[in-house]
């Protein structure tokens, strides 16, 4: 309501920016096809195109886990009304 003061904390926090970056990075990496549309360097005979994409499967998992842990910490801090440690 326009006449009421906002008592909630800021919606954009450093933790939420990191969460967003962790979740957006795999999409940007996979949509930027020109960066990996080649065969060299091969890794154990596997063309770069394939092992780069498989590497991002693992990196996406790690980044999603980091984002989830940061989200849980942020929610706990907001519920308790204090800063996350």
Residue 45 burial by Cβ neighbours in a 10 Å radius (0-12, 13-18, 19+): exposed
pLDDT of residue 3: 54
Residues of the chain with pLDDT under 50: none
Q: Are 15 and 67 in contact (CB under 8 A)?
A: no
Percent of the chain with pLDDT over 90: 56
> What is the overall mean pLDDT for the chain?
86
pLDDT of residue 18: 95
**Nearest one of 19, 24, 15 to 66, comparing CA atoms:** 19
DSSP code string of 17-36: HHHHHHHHHHHHHHH-GGGT
């Amino acid at each position: 309501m326009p006449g009421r003061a906002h008592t909630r904390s800021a919606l954009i926090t450093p933790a939420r920016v990191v969460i967003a970056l962790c979740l957006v990075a795999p999409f940007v990496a996979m949509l930027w096809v020109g960066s990996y549309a080649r065969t060299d360097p091969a890794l154990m005979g596997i063309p770069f195109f394939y092992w780069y994409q498989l590497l991002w499967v693992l990196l996406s998992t790690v980044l999603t886990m980091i984002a989830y842990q940061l989200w849980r910490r942020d929610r706990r801090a907001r519920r308790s009304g204090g800063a996350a440690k």
